[in-house]
Structure 1
Amino acid sequence: MRTPAIDIRGVTRTFGHGRTSVTAVDNVTFQINRGEVVALLGHNGAGKSTLLDMVMGLSDPTDGSIEVLGQRPGAVPGTVGAMLQSGGLLPDLTVKATAQMTAAILGDCLPVDDVLHRSGCTDFVNRRVGKCSGGQIQRLRFALALLPDPEILLLDEPTAGMDAEARRSFWTAMRREATEGRAIVFATHYLHEVDDAADRVILLQRGRIVTDMPVARLASKTKRHVTGVWQGTAEDAAHLVQSLGIPPEDLVIIDGRMRLTAPDGDAAVRTLLNMAAASRLEVRVPSVEDLFFQCGEHGDASEEFDAFARHAATANDAPATLIEE
């Protein structure tokens, strides 16, 4: 078997001593393979930055072990490229000069012009950094992360400041890097990007992993939300609940609008169409964003998706009866 790109085993990181100590990362274990795109999620203070610092070799775990490509973090320069929001860039240098200076410091690097092209910087290489937009700065940071031709990319809010078109271009580039065998770990607050770009989600809360699974499995485990215009009667609603074998509270009808939560969205749609009880039907799979806020509200994911789907479907609704007469 190939060595994992990142191998984290029983890692704990505490700060301070005695009663004043704080545990930022608490007994975390996971592996990330080459070619994998992994979203690392968590509220502020969940332990994401501390974990990434340890992977980069900027700090050591209090307990447990971390290996990067089979070595201790930082043992082989250039194996990890980091695109961080912090860290100053010289405002009076041009974009190209910044990349050239960084390449000279690093030594063995990819050709600067190639990297600027791959990162989408070609159109503004002669612009001074201080005159660049937020999205352009992010693309420059991406270029600097690619310069040493790393096998692992760590990205912190990589598309912050980018418009929609720039985000699409960025994630297309990320997919291309992953197909070349790079492991990519990214943190983002644009949670729809997780659905679109990630192979896997790792959700941290209070330093612990509460969810670690492929995005495809997340979708397969969650219940579907079916919405539409209700045209049936109270008897139709009771029949629908019985036919689908769902709790009555999973069907909410208010002012002629219906929302149904069911494990099989296709079966629910077929039943509704056969009954002629609803029209303008839409089926939605709960997103990673639903999961993120569900875990943030309830503190863990121990009951995982059974409870999650119902809460996600009704969290923003006022109390309602099955049918509003």
Structure 2
Amino acid sequence: MNPEISTRPDTAGIPAVADGGDGGDGGSVVSLLERAGSVVVPIAVGLYALLYFGVEQVYGAFNVTPEQVGIDQATMFGRLMATIILGVLAGALLVGVVVGIAWLIDKITLGYAGRGVRYIRQRPWLAAAVGAVWCGATYWGFLGYLGADAASNALRTVLVATIIGVLAFLVPFRLLRRRPVGRAGMKIAVGALTGIGLGFLLVGHMEDSAVRVAKTGEESFTLSLLGFQDQWVIPFENESGKPLRDGGKVMLLGEADGVYTFYDCRAAETFRVPAEATGIKAISLQPDAKERVCAAR
């Protein structure tokens, strides 16, 4: 009998190519994206979760709610599109600078810096301790928002961060380091807490800026980036044409449900009038300082 002839091609000696579409490089690209996403996404989610809370604090300085001036989640996101694009551009530059500095440090130290990082990652207790202290430091934004004025004391900041981190995160992070899924969970927890800590710092700065605007009428660069419209108008009665508030310019906070909401900086008072019975003129977006008449100036 004739020996059975195989119809399969002879692949002996041909190196196998890993699935990835790019000759083996696809896997590394996907891995890089997964690693970056596991850090960036939780930070972004934590920041955005506190952003609307910050908007509430901003309009709270004018004794109104965001809903009363027509601000909801969709409106806020639409106003933030330009800021998000600028943030992505600035973030790309920052990441590039950080990567370059890290590479330079590793070269200057003849590779010892990179080996030190790998040594820490391979030691569960050390890696858990670093993550715990970092998470403790993120609580400083929350404590600062509550009014703890210790940000100027670096030693006190380090002590508080260490105590919070050791008590709350050290042992859980050590247990998470046992398995790959636990290590991924630790990254998500660190990223989320980092975003929340940065968010509370941002909320505190937003609230301080809003209080300053309410007192002096000065333009705030931070609030303008976050979608706050610095618009000044002269409201008047439609029927009689008589200007409201003696014809002085007031800040237009917004309109919702057929009602205008204005802020009179001279009287430090917020008032609301029906939109059907009220007209506006002399509209100025981000006007000069001479048009911002306030009692505190």
Give the TM-score taking structure 2 as reference length: 0.28
- More strand as a share of residues: 1
Please say which structure displays the higher CA radius of gyration. 2
Which fold has the larger relative contact order, with Cα–Cα distance below 8 Å and residues 6 or more apart in sequence?
A: 2
- More helix as a share of residues: 2
Give the TM-score taking structure 1 as reference length: 0.26
